Amino acid sequence: MNIAIHFPIYQRRESAAQIGTLLLGVVILLLSQTMIVHHEEPLAEIPVSLTILPPPVAPEKIVEKIVEQPVVQPPPQKMVEPVPQQTPVAATPAPVPSPVALPNLPVSPTQQAIPEHLEMPHSNSAAESLFAQDVRVSIERKKIYPETARDLGMTGAVEVMYVLDRSGKLIKAEIIASSGYKLLDKAALAAVQSASYKAFPADAWIGEGSKEFRTRLVFSIND
């Protein structure tokens, strides 16, 4: 009984020993292979660069090359002839025209009375219109209808032109539009010549010595 029991235990121990020996051999084999690989690993190649220098040039050859280069010469300069100086000619002064004496023109009394530095005042149109109305009234008062012309039935209008100076004096009178009857024309002209006129107002027709007027006289039987 005892022999049968211990025999399997012995076999187990022997199997375990064989396995351990096998494992140890495998480990030793792996270690040896690793060492061989590290020992046989090739060294890395280091690149080497070589520079080839050109052969030195002798100084004599350098001098020869410099001498062989052509020398550029500047172009010849042209000789400039001196320009003779001209003597300045004095300019002849232009003749100065002599002043021309102007004849003394006659000056009207109206221009002499007003100084040059004073401005001419403006005429008063209202005063002029009122004076012309007074002149017509004075002529109408002197108009006489001839009895012969009335009896014969002569009617018509006569336009008379007359000129008065500033003092109210009659200078000129004439008929410019006839009525067709000499009796009526003479009566109209007589009315203008016999009427009395006043002097011009101070602010009427300033600067004028005289003034022309026109008046139309109507002769009618019904008047």
**Is 144 a residue whose pLDDT tops 70?**
yes
Does residue 130 fall inside a structural domain?
yes
Q: Is residue 108 over pLDDT 80?
A: no
The number of C-alpha atoms within 13 Å of 177 and in the hemisphere containing its C-beta is 11
Which tens digit of pLDDT belongs to each residue from 53-63?
566 555 555 54
Residue 149 falls within a domain, yes or no? yes
Number of structural domains found in the chain: 1
Where in the chain does DSSP place strands (E)? 156-165, 170-177, 210-219
Domain membership of residue 151 as a residue range? 125-219
Answer whether residue 183 is part of any domain.
yes
Q: Can you give the pLDDT at residue 25?
A: 83
- CATH number of the domain that residue 180 is part of: 3.30.1150.10
- Give the DSSP H or E segment for 8: helix 2-40
Under a CB-based contact definition with an 8 Å cutoff, are residues 201 and 146 in contact? no
Least trusted range by pLDDT, from 66-70, 123-127, 177-181, 213-217: 66-70
Does residue 22 lie within any of the structural domains?
no
Per-residue pLDDT at 131: 96
Full-model pTM: 0.46
User: Is 29 inside a domain boundary?
Assistant: no
- Describe the crossing of helices 182-194 and 125-142 by its angle, rounded to 10 degrees: 120
Would you say residue 167 lies in a domain? yes
Residue 5 has pLDDT above 50, yes or no: no
Token pair 């292979």 in the structure block, residue: 33
Q: Between vectors from CA 66 to CA 65 and to CA 68, what angle results, nearest 5°?
A: 65
Report if residue 68 sits inside a domain: no
In a domain, 114, yes or no: no
Sign of CA dihedral 103, 109, 115, 119: negative
User: Each residue of 164-208: pLDDT tens digit?
Assistant: 999 999 999 999 999 999 999 999 999 999 999 999 999 999 999
